Amino acid sequence: MKKSLVSDINLKHEIESTKNDNDEITVFLSKTLSGCIYLVIDCSASMRGEKLSSVKEGTKNFALNAKAKSYLIGLIKFSSEATLVAETQTDLINIYHKIDELDTNGTTNMADAIIMASEKLERQNGARIMIIATDGMPNDEEAALKAATQAKKNEIEIIALGTDDADEKFLKQIASSSSFGVKVSRNLIGKAIATTAKMLKRPGG
């Protein structure tokens, strides 16, 4: 059995729990880098409004906690095409700027986004993780699945979070394990992203 880079907490349960224990952030000052993460955010037209605001808030929260666990964080958005928004880094202020600038349009080209994230991650050391947040089905389901399968072969962990029109079965298929594919109600999508930070292992952890 392959060793997972992220801990297998009950993500769904964690997301739906109302416990708010992210008040204190603890950073272990280690010189070791835990790994790299790309947040792959659906910015298709249907994400407009509260959903995207929620995703932005959750993504910032995630970035903060991921940095505390010594991860580099990068950002890819996708609508009709995939766009690299930020290379992996630890400059959170810059990441926040980029997150604030995210806007919505177009369709759901998830496959290209997965391919882009995989190519970026393949060159990185340590744990390599991709977190996808979406509210719908991709333009080309088969291509997205194929890209995800290839990424997983290259030891990239995929966590897939969805809401609204996203199909939970599909999310589970593209995710590294079925418990990493989760569909939540739209008011929880931001929290879902933030919560995945809990799954990240610390260096050597």
- Give residues in contact with other proteins (CB under 8 A): 17-20, 23-29, 60, 64, 67, 91-93, 96-97, 100
Residue 24 buriedness (CB in 10 A; 0-12 / 13-18 / 19+): exposed
Which tokens hold the place of 158? 């995929």
Distances in Å between the Cα of 54 and the Cα atoms of 26, 100, 115 are 24, 11, 25
Question: Please, what is the minimum distance in Å from the beta carbon of residue 28 to other proteins?
Answer: 5
Starting at the earlier edge strand, list the strands of the sheet with 35-42. 82-89, 71-78, 35-42, 127-134, 157-162, 181-183
Report the residue number, 48 or 146, with the smaller CB distance to other proteins.
48
Question: Over the range 154-180, which residues count as b (16 or more CB within 10 Å of their CB) and which as e?
Answer: eebbbbbbbbeebbeebbbbbbbeebb
Report the residue number, 156 or 192, with the smaller CB distance to other proteins.
192
Question: Please, what is the minimum distance in Å from the beta carbon of residue 67 to other proteins?
Answer: 8
Question: Please, what is the minimum distance in Å from the beta carbon of residue 52 to other proteins?
Answer: 14
At 166 the three-state DSSP class reads coil
Instruction: Answer for the pair 176, 84: CB distance below 8 angstroms, yes or no.
Output: no
Report the residue number, 19 or 153, with the smaller CB distance to other proteins.
19
Determine the Cα–Cα distance for residues 108 and 27; give it in Å rounded to an integer: 36
Question: Please, what is the minimum distance in Å from the beta carbon of residue 86 to other proteins?
Answer: 14
